[in-house]
Amino acid sequence: MKPKEMNKLFKSLGLKKVNKGASVGGQWFANSGDFLEVNDPTTGTVIAKVEQASAKDYQKMVATSQKAFVEWRNVPAPERGEIVRQLGEALRAKKDDLGALVSLEMGKILTEGLGEVQEMIDICDYAVGQSRMLSGPTLQSERPKHRMMEQWHPLGIVGLITAFNFPVAVWAWNTALAWVCGDTAIWKPSSKTPLTAIACQNIANEVFKRNGVPEGVSCVIVGRGSVIGEKLVNDGRVPLISATGSTKMGKRIGAIVGGRLGRTILELGGNNAMIISEKADIKGALASAFFGAVGTAGQRCTSTRRLIIHHSIYNKFLKKLIANYKNVNIGDPLNKRTLMGPLIDDTAVADFKNAINAAVEQGGKVLCGGEVKRRKGSFVLPTIIEIENKAAIVQSETFAPILYVMKYKTVDQAIKMHNDVPQGLSSAIYSDSMSEGEKFISYLGSDCGIANINIGTSGAEIGGAFGGEKETGGGRESGSDSWKAYMRRQTNTINWGGEVHLAQGVEFKS
Ligand code: UN1
């Protein structure tokens, strides 16, 4: 991005060349003297700095957020929803700028940056409706003239730890719901993408201030994992931690928060596969596999990492897919003709190279790509490797555009291979056979949190619960009844008849 354009973008989103990393309400602060450099992955240059928050800054934030919670929970849920509606409107107004900033800082192409902001808008709309539907059932009591019911109450402070790859959408999935549920939020964004977080907080600050929302309902804190992340996950004043990232990180957070009997929503690694049957619509399967594997430069947790292809169409299908791969326009994500931007940084490029070397050592054959692109920035070539599912490298998630391909003979064999990985996020089958499709989404089929027929593994809509099984962590965010994770459940029994009856027929009289 040209300096003039960048200045304009920064101005529109309230960013500076040197920013403070912590905000509660309208104020920005941070006094660690420890500056984070924000890298543009396309050029490899530093575009801004952020002063990271200190442990003291964190303490101030939690205290303010706790106070804010006590007030915020008194605001009726539909009124909280109205404020989230206004946030959705403010995001609509800033969609182009915020989408461009996502592309600049994270490296995904502009249409995907805009799509991510659209996800934020969508979840705001969803949360507005949800704010009038935080309902619990009325239950039949076994005692005469009694009634039972369930209520859902606000929980407290929600600690959010998000990853670089969806630097803004995951914040909105969590906060839009948390806020209508009456919670406050402290957001620790990825240190690789702090600018998008600061921009989002500026937008929220403006809407919240206009509505007199207590300071501390929306907080953002940019800081080191070893300082701020550690404090957040260990803090008994934060009843829920929602974290997106690697399985390694999730196992650690799960153990710490579990140790204090707090709650977690963990959205961790995926190893998503698509089964392509000989009964598939090949054109559709090609388009979905291509987007799933190459889109976002393979940096979605839902990215397609494995293709399990019926042996009778294997060669024909791969020939077409490789032809698509050879035509991928790689470059500046803000250029409309670009299909694949850079990886987030040089560490990601090193992980890409290491995974390819490991795959070759483990018997893999590189069918296309396999190299780093010789230009400034963190660019690699989208890669296809023929390899066996059981190879160690195929069993782990590499956050890069590497697609492992393999053959199958029977659909049962394909499903077995499909499930034979430690992760369980997203999955798909391409088949026009109704029984193959139904089997894939049955209890005998995919063991993932998301299982699709005739669409790809990535690009889930916000209306469904998002998350996965096994090493993906088990959490669910976004749609369906995921809101329940942000509230505490209460069972109420009401005696309206006057006489005391003990449950289970117990008699207790002197
Ligand atoms: C992620 O990669 O962390 O389903 C989230 C998708 C997007 C969200 C991905 N809606 O691909």
Q: Tell me the domain boundaries of the chain.
A: 20-268+473-489, 272-461
CA distances from 85 to 11, 72, 182 (A): 24, 16, 15
What CATH number does the domain located at 272-461 have?
Answer: 3.40.309.10
Dist CA 109 CA 453 (whole Å): 26
Dist CA 318 CA 57 (whole Å): 54
Indicate whether 384 pLDDT > 80.
Answer: yes
Q: What is the pLDDT of residue 450?
A: 98
Residue of 51, 112, 116, 267 marked active site: 267
Is the CB of 301 within 6 Å of ligand 1?
A: yes
Asked whether this chain's domains 20-268+473-489 and 272-461 adopt the same fold, the reply is no
**What is the pLDDT averaged over residues 119-139?**
98
Q: What is the pLDDT of residue 469?
A: 98
In terms of C-beta density within 10 A (0-12 exposed, 13-18 middle, 19 or more buried), how is residue 232 classed? buried
Angle 282-294/314-326 helices, nearest 10 degrees? 50
Q: What is the pLDDT of residue 373?
A: 86
Is the CB of 460 within 6 Å of ligand 1?
A: yes
Residue from 301, 397, 482 to probe ligand 1 pocket by mutation (most atoms less than 8 Å from CB): 301
Structure confidence at residue 383 as a pLDDT band (50, 70, 90): very high
Indicate whether 375 pLDDT > 90.
Answer: no
What is the CB neighbour count within 10 angstroms for residue 387?
Answer: 20
Amino acid at 175: T
DSSP 321-379: HHHHHHT--BS-TTSTT-SB---SSHHHHHHHHHHHHHHHHTT-EEEE--SB-SSSSS-
Residue from 111, 164, 302, 450 to probe ligand 1 pocket by mutation (most atoms less than 8 Å from CB): 302
Dist CA 150 CA 489 (whole Å): 7
**What is the pLDDT averaged over residues 412-425?**
98
State which ligand 1 atom lies nearest to the alpha carbon of 119: 10
Is the CB of 300 within 6 Å of ligand 1?
A: yes
Q: What are residue 37's phi and psi, to 5 degrees?
A: -95, 130
**What is the pLDDT averaged over residues 11-38?**
95
301 in active site: yes
Reported CATH class of domain 20-268+473-489 = alpha beta
Structure confidence at residue 166 as a pLDDT band (50, 70, 90): very high
Indicate whether 422 pLDDT > 90.
Answer: yes
Q: What is the mean pLDDT of the chain?
A: 97
Indicate whether 48 pLDDT > 80.
Answer: yes
State which ligand 1 atom lies nearest to the alpha carbon of 267: 3
Contact assessment for residue 38 and residue 48, using Cβ atoms and an 8 Å cutoff: yes
Q: What is the pLDDT of residue 25?
A: 82
HSE toward the beta carbon, residue 299, CA cutoff 13 A: 26
The residue contributing the CA closest to ligand 1 atom 7 is 459
Q: What is the pLDDT of residue 26?
A: 83
**What is the pLDDT averaged over residues 358-380?**
94
pLDDT in tens, 168-189: 999 999 999 999 999 999 999 9
Indicate whether 374 pLDDT > 80.
Answer: no
**What is the pLDDT averaged over residues 272-300?**
98
Structure confidence at residue 136 as a pLDDT band (50, 70, 90): very high
With a CB cutoff of 8 Å and minimum separation 6, the contacts of 162 are: 170, 171, 187, 188, 189, 190, 197, 243, 244
Q: What is the pLDDT of residue 271?
A: 98
Element (H, E) at 467: none
Amino acid at 235: D
**What is the pLDDT averaged over residues 439-454?**
98
pLDDT in tens, 68-93: 999 999 999 999 999 999 999 999 99
pLDDT in tens, 324-339: 999 999 999 999 999 9
Amino acid at 444: L
Element (H, E) at 51: strand 45-51
Q: What is the pLDDT of residue 189?
A: 98
DSSP 91-140: HHHTHHHHHHHHHHHH---HHHHHHHHHHHHHHHHHHHHHTT-----EE-
Q: What is the pLDDT of residue 408?
A: 98
Is the CB of 192 within 6 Å of ligand 1?
A: no
Structure confidence at residue 50 as a pLDDT band (50, 70, 90): very high
Q: Considering only CA atoms, which of 451, 434, 403 is closest in space to residue 279?
A: 434
What pTM does this model have? 0.97
Residue from 102, 267, 300 to probe ligand 1 pocket by mutation (most atoms less than 8 Å from CB): 300
Q: What is the pLDDT of residue 30?
A: 95
Could you tell me what percent of the chain has a pLDDT over 70? 100
267 in active site: yes
Is the CB of 174 within 6 Å of ligand 1?
A: no
pLDDT in tens, 233-285: 999 999 999 999 999 999 999 999 999 999 999 999 999 999 999 999 999 99
